[in-house]
Amino acid sequence: MKKLLLLFAVLTSSFHFAQDKDINQEIIKVTKMSVEVDSAEELETIDWKDIKEVFAHNTKNEAIEMSFSLHYPKSKNKIKSAIKVGGKSKNIDSLIVIAKKGIKAIIKLANNHKN
């Protein structure tokens, strides 16, 4: 019974002190993001909502950059292709549209020269 009361007292005091602390949350700004893959199929699985979320905490005029690259190290042609898109955070939707077009071109190129 003493152990149970002691455990209760320790837990109660730790909960009390944990709630008294002033929590300072730091916001992390991401200005550059890079995706490197080794198959066109992986480029097709990019979740654009997640990409947009990466830059969500930036200010509207923050300069951001996204880069996407494909590298087929085992193909006979040793294909390497990349696209880099940059601009302001407030234009994230249009930057994503441009990146999607570039990725479609990379996928098309990779599929034409596979193996």
Residue 67: strand, helix, or coil: strand
d(Cα 63, Cα 30) in Å, to the nearest integer? 10
The predicted structure's pLDDT at residue 40? 85
User: Is the Cα torsion angle 74, 75, 78, 84 positive or negative in sign?
Assistant: negative
Query: Interior CA angle at 104 toward 101 and 106, to 5°?
Result: 110
Q: Where are the domains of the chain?
A: 32-112
Q: Cβ contacts of residue 99 below 8 Å, gap of 6+? A: 51, 66, 68, 83, 85
For 70-86, write each residue's pLDDT tens digit: 887 666 777 788 999 99
The model scores a pTM over 0.75: no
